[in-house]
Amino acid sequence: MIRIGIDVGREKTDGVVMNQHLHILATACLPTTADVLSGIQVIIAQLLRDSSVREEDVKTVMIGTNLFLDAMLTEKDLSQVCAVRILQAKGSIPPLYGGTESFRKAIGLVYHELQGGHEVDGEISQTLPSRQELDRFLRSVHSQGIDAFAITGTFSPVNDSHERMVMGWIQESMGKDYSFTLSHELGSIGFLERENGAILNAALSKLIKQALRGLDHLLQELGIEAGIYLVQNDGSLMSYDYALHYPIRTLYSGMTTSLRGASFLAQLQDCIVVDVGKKATRVGVLEEGFPKERRQNAPIAGIDVNVPKPEIVSFPFGGEHSVDDDKLDAVFEAVQRFQRRYDPLPLVFVGEGSREWAAKFRFPWSDVVHPPFSAHAGAIGACIAPISGKVDRMYWLKGMEREEAVQMATGEAVHEAVRAGAKPETVAAKSIKVTPFAYVPSQALRVQVKAIGSLT
């Protein structure tokens, strides 16, 4: 099976073609173009030409990109978002609390609070949502150029019926030519973090379609009939169609592809990676071949959101800058932050500016590795990624055993991996975390499961 990996960065787009044994057949690098699809088309054509691979032999194309994170940080090309809350306590903390006023304006945020939602055990709250009230609100904002809706209900990960009902009402009133994000589909138990995630996902809905919709037709024009996948925040893959609905899950793929590619090139499952780009340097760590994730919610543009993010230290200098002692010391301190106290991890340098850094970097307690093809680590990391599914649910144990809740969550995580494109027989749970809730009766249990599988 021939596969192509592409890493679309801020300034350059890298590509690699690999065979079924994961041997590198060709690499390519071009400046990133404003039209992402045309840049992908050019780089794929060059890869095929340089590798002498036939178009019909390419079976998968994998893409990692920091395009959508950049859009968040620069507040450009974002959708106009309407947020609908379904809850009992009105007038609480507003959506995107902690975010900047400029970001709110960039997405034209309007929101409305409907009474409704569910209790911690999934039972319906005291008051049902009112369609008449919702219709009055929709008429008042009809002319405001809304592109996308983000719908969040209390305890919707336990019972999602009100979120789905309100989405149906909006579609009946305004039509289906909008993007919809339902917060329960993004996991997270906490209301505000889940709502923020839904709003940010909705804000990216137009951009991801502008940038990548039509990629399947582009490949067909090149004579390629292949599965298309995008890299997620944890370094695993999801299908093209799945990614079009959940762009927030790709925000940090530009970082994780480099880390995973470094692990593959150095043949190390546990290591510290120093990724030296042209203008920036990032330091991260891999555990069992996957980027170590931050243990706390990671703010995006000052907004708390429960989106997996690799533990990364970034510096505003890279390969185009001279390597002086101050910069070496800064990277050394970041490496020390990730190092084990005993049995230090090896260091892997990748990125287009990594050769000089690796030659000058001194770390007396572990090996410094600069593998071949290190300039293309991002594209390689995309090319070798597996597929995952994640579940973060709360279960009410009334009438249910603990093991049954874990089994249900595991089954859902496996289903998510298959839905994202994994071959069913290859999917297995990689991690299971079970946490009783301290602030509700002991019958409430939070279950987090991650399942990993191989490409179909």
> Does the pLDDT of residue 296 top 70, yes or no?
no
d(CA 238, CA 322): 38
Provide the mean pLDDT of the chain: 90
User: Tens of pLDDT along 350-371?
Assistant: 998 899 999 999 888 889 999 9
In a domain, 335, yes or no: yes
Q: Which of 123-132, 296-305, 320-329 has the lowest mean pLDDT?
A: 296-305
In a shared domain, residues 372 and 256 = yes
Res. 345 pLDDT band, cuts 50 70 90:
very high
User: Tens of pLDDT along 368-388?
Assistant: 999 999 999 999 999 999 988
Q: Residue range 165-191: average pLDDT?
A: 91
In a shared domain, residues 379 and 394 = no
In a domain, 215, yes or no: no
What is the residue whose two structure tokens read 């030659």? 359
In a domain, 212, yes or no: no
User: Tens of pLDDT along 53-110?
Assistant: 999 999 999 999 988 999 999 999 999 999 999 998 777 788 998 888 999 999 999 9
Domain harbouring 342, CATH code = 3.30.420.40
Percent of the chain topping pLDDT 90: 61
> Does the pLDDT of residue 289 top 60, yes or no?
yes
Greater confidence (433 vs 81) lies with 81
Q: Residue range 263-292: average pLDDT?
A: 93
| Domain stop point among 337, 357, 383 | 383
- Distance from the Cα of residue 207 to its chain's centroid: 15
In a shared domain, residues 256 and 192 = no
d(CA 327, CA 334): 11
Of 305, 210, 238, whose CA–CA distance to 64 is shortest? 238
In a domain, 223, yes or no: no
In a shared domain, residues 236 and 367 = yes
| pLDDT of the residue at 297 | 66
Res. 309 pLDDT band, cuts 50 70 90:
confident
In a shared domain, residues 59 and 80 = no
d(CA 129, CA 439): 27
Res. 400 pLDDT band, cuts 50 70 90:
confident
Q: Which residues contact 314 (CB under 8 A, 6 or more apart)?
A: 280, 281, 282, 283
**Alpha-helix runs per DSSP H in 176-322:** 191-212, 215-221, 240-245, 253-266
Secondary structure (DSSP) of 116-144 = --B-TTS-B-SS---HHHHHHHHHHHTTS
In a domain, 222, yes or no: no
In a shared domain, residues 162 and 192 = yes
In a shared domain, residues 153 and 275 = no
Res. 391 pLDDT band, cuts 50 70 90:
confident
In a shared domain, residues 312 and 340 = yes
> Does the pLDDT of residue 164 top 90, yes or no?
yes
d(CA 124, CA 254): 41
In a shared domain, residues 392 and 266 = no
In a shared domain, residues 54 and 93 = no
Q: How many CB atoms lie within 10 A of CB 331?
A: 23
Structural domain count of the chain: 3
Domain enclosing residue 396, as ranges: 387-453
| Domain stop point among 171, 191, 206 | 206
Percent of the chain topping pLDDT 70: 97
Q: Residue range 421-448: average pLDDT?
A: 81
| pLDDT of the residue at 416 | 87
Helix (H) / strand (E) containing 45: helix 36-51
Res. 229 pLDDT band, cuts 50 70 90:
very high
In a domain, 188, yes or no: yes
> Does the pLDDT of residue 439 top 80, yes or no?
no
In a domain, 127, yes or no: yes
In a domain, 170, yes or no: yes
| Domain stop point among 383, 406, 429 | 383
Contact 59, 226 (CB under 8 A): yes
Q: Residue range 257-285: average pLDDT?
A: 95
Q: Please report how the helices 191-212 and 67-74 are oriented relative to each other, as an axis angle in degrees rounded to 10.
A: 120
In a shared domain, residues 373 and 395 = no
| pLDDT of the residue at 438 | 62
Domain harbouring 151, CATH code = 3.40.50
> Does the pLDDT of residue 135 top 90, yes or no?
yes
**Alpha-helix runs per DSSP H in 314-376:** 325-338, 354-360
In a shared domain, residues 301 and 445 = no
